[in-house]
């Protein structure tokens, strides 16, 4: 069986929960295949900034998940509102024009939605 899911995060304080949830999901999947994407908007895009002092350990967890196939998207409206440029993003993060449009499209494609 294959499952698709998009995780939504818009508060920085939720990053440890989100990243832990996805780690648990991948561990639980067993022979099931999981396509998992993280969509950050609001202030939560700031943890995508490519500097150790800003990431507080979350960058390492993201890199580990990305190596297991998890994708990470950043809302460009939120990037503008938080003064974050594309060049400042961790290399594996994909900017999308509007985070909520991504959430709507993915659900229309059959993705489940989880907001930790």
In the complex, the residues that contact a second copy under the rule CB under 8 A are 1, 3, 5, 8, 10, 17, 21-22, 24-25, 27-29, 34, 41-42, 75, 77, 97-101, 103-105, 107-108, 110, 112-116
| CB of 11 vs a second copy, minimal distance in Å | 10
C-alpha distance from residue 36 to each of 45, 62, 84, 87, 94 (Å): 18, 12, 24, 24, 14
9 within 8 A of 18, measured Cβ to Cβ: yes
Nearer to a second copy, 9 or 90 (CB): 9
| CB of 53 vs a second copy, minimal distance in Å | 27
Strand partners, 8: 39
Distance CA 2, CA 82 (A): 36
Length of the chain: 116
Nearer to a second copy, 11 or 54 (CB): 11
| CB of 69 vs a second copy, minimal distance in Å | 15
**H/E element holding 20?**
helix 15-29
Nearer to a second copy, 33 or 52 (CB): 33
| CB of 52 vs a second copy, minimal distance in Å | 26
* Helix extents (H) in 30-115: 52-55, 58-67, 76-81, 99-108
């Amino acid at each position: 069986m294959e499952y698709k899911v998009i995780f939504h995060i818009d508060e920085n304080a939720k990053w440890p929960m989100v990243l832990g949830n996805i780690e648990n999901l991948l561990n639980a999947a067993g022979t099931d295949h999981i396509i998992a994407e993280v969509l950050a908007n609001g202030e939560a895009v700031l943890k995508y900034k490519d500097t150790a002092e800003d990431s507080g350990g979350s960058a390492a967890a993201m890199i580990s998940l990305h190596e297991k196939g998890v994708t990470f998207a950043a809302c460009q409206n939120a990037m503008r509102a938080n003064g974050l440029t594309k060049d400042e993003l961790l290399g594996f993060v994909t900017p999308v024009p509007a985070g909520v449009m991504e959430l709507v499209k993915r659900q229309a494609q059959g993705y489940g939605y989880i907001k930790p």
